[in-house]
Structure 1
């Protein structure tokens, strides 16, 4: 028997109805005039792990062997915590980002939008 390299696969699960909704929304945005798209402020909120970042882990084992202690990678319980970052961008450029934690989430995000609006001089009229 020879050893083979294995990588743990990851895939975001989307239900078929959610895939259809995303595709429909993308098709709608294709035909919206450029003038309107220039007034849109896109936003994204992403979680980041402080420690124990998810990495690709390679394991060499004989084909057909199960998972043994020698094939495992140690982890830290609770991983040091996550932080949520909120950021935005528009046709004019990239906006500010803010750490959105605690009870001031909405306040911080709105303050960030206000700064971005001033810095990028977006005309929302």
Structure 2
């Protein structure tokens, strides 16, 4: 029998908890808003060129200002996209970016906290460890 490899899954969670949704009473934005900001700015560059991650390279950005951890401590979120292919590039697509990173915070998922409706962020593996998307509050 051929052993089936894992594909499209959460491989790890971060350590800091962050609300998934926005806290409108305190003007904090949550995890999903940080994902939206990262994916939008990554795919809408000033030069209108695609964001392409080369073989064995990574692309990283820290999103800050207006975000908080569970409990109210101001926070930033570190995002990275790793292209683990030996050859071949990875072009970032806004919708896919959001889907991969939001999958990390899905209700009842590995990195989701039911009590406070928060997430630790983490790593989403695309394919058989071909590309990985990371979001760590």
TM-score (norm 2): 0.23
If each structure's helix is expressed as a fraction of its own residues, which one has the higher value? 1
Q: Larger Cα Rg: Structure 1 or Structure 2? A: 1
If each structure's strand is expressed as a fraction of its own residues, which one has the higher value? 2
TM-score (norm 1): 0.24
